[in-house]
């Protein structure tokens, strides 16, 4: 379950990331830690995400978060790259990683499977499409829990 502050944090972080040539990929607020940890994953649009990218994003976002006081009290801000083994969410990610090996997990069985592995062909409003050993597989989006790069 997403923390209720996450949409507002993403709204604040997105223009900063865009100015730096980055995309906000994910945000998580871990309130079970003391102090709470805000982790924001960013990706460089044109190259590998560097430590400099993360530093610039951290400094810029920290200033905005402090001035808005959106997170009450002390917290830890972590900016990182999502890495290669991660979940796909946005349309852009599905386009970017077309042809990559993915694992698709479904909430209920589809064709007697709850996990599918293959090369990502794409997605639309209705389904996720993968190629499994030369055979095209269509998995209804309504059943998909997650699609992860492997």
Enumerate long-range contacts of 40-48, CB under 8 Å, 24 or more apart: 40/9, 40/13, 40/77, 40/78, 40/79, 40/80, 41/79, 41/80, 41/81, 41/82, 41/86, 42/17, 42/79, 42/80, 42/81, 42/82, 43/81, 43/82, 45/21, 46/21, 48/81
Judged against a pLDDT cut of 90, whether residue 108 lies above it is answered with no
Q: Give the fold, CATH level 3, of 6-80.
A: GMP Synthetase; Chain A, domain 3 (3.30.300)
87-149: CATH number: 2.30.30.100
Q: What is the model's pLDDT at position 85?
A: 56
* Tens-digit pLDDT profile for residues 32-68: 889 999 999 998 888 888 899 999 999 999 999 999 9
Judged against a pLDDT cut of 60, whether residue 94 lies above it is answered with yes
Overall average pLDDT of the 125-148 stretch: 94
Judged against a pLDDT cut of 90, whether residue 118 lies above it is answered with yes
Judged against a pLDDT cut of 80, whether residue 86 lies above it is answered with no
Residue ranges, comma separated, of all CATH 3.30.300.70 domains in the chain are: 6-80
Rounded-to-integer distance, Cα 110 and Cα 28, Å: 30
> How does residue 140 score in pLDDT terms, banded at 50, 70 and 90?
very high
Judged against a pLDDT cut of 90, whether residue 91 lies above it is answered with no
Overall average pLDDT of the 77-89 stretch: 80
Q: What is the model's pLDDT at position 84?
A: 58
Judged against a pLDDT cut of 70, whether residue 102 lies above it is answered with yes
pLDDT above 70 as % of the chain: 97
Q: What is the model's pLDDT at position 93?
A: 83
Rounded-to-integer distance, Cα 76 and Cα 92, Å: 29
Residue ranges, comma separated, of all CATH 2.30.30.100 domains in the chain are: 87-149
Overall average pLDDT of the 11-32 stretch: 93
Rounded-to-integer distance, Cα 125 and Cα 144, Å: 12
């Amino acid at each position: 379950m997403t923390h209720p502050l996450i949409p507002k944090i993403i709204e604040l972080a997105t223009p900063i990331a865009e100015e730096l040539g980055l995309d906000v990929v994910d945000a998580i607020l871990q309130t079970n830690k003391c102090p709470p940890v805000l982790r924001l994953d960013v990706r460089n649009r044109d190259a590998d995400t560097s430590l400099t990218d993360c530093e610039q994003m951290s400094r810029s976002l920290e200033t905005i978060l402090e001035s808005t006081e959106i997170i009450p009290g002390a917290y830890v801000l972590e900016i990182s790259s999502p890495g290669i083994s991660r979940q796909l969410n946005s349309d852009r990610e599905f386009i970017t990683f077309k042809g990559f090996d993915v694992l698709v997990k479904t909430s209920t069985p589809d064709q007697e499977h709850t996990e599918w592995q293959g090369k990502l062909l794409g997605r639309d409003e209705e389904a996720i499409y993968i190629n499994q050993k030369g055979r095209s597989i269509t998995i209804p989006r309504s059943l998909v829990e997650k699609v992860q790069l492997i």
